[in-house]
Structure 1
């Protein structure tokens, strides 16, 4: 499981875009977004670098990952 800080998320469309980007890397990924905390939890077998890159390419910079 990855816990990410993702900037520039402010609405439901942002949540959908981030989720879609992650699912493009791993269709079976489980994604939870906390819009207020700008936090995204991802349960995925995909490499962290691939998940971060997909989110960044969707226009949402990942500022921290654990």
Structure 2
């Protein structure tokens, strides 16, 4: 499997159900502890700094998570 990861021109990682569950728990924990009012939801909702003109529709749909 490492051979395939080295051949891809993009970053790849191995995942399992446990790894995905851990990532979801970590994202939830970070969101709960966040005291910064400027998150993706608010920035996109209020179109701060005219962000919709330079964000792609994928950024809006996935809230900047996947690049």
- TM-score if structure 1 supplies the norm length? 0.29
Please state which structure has a larger fraction of its residues in strand.
1
> Which one has the largest radius of gyration?
2
- TM-score if structure 2 supplies the norm length? 0.28
Please state which structure has a larger fraction of its residues in helix.
2
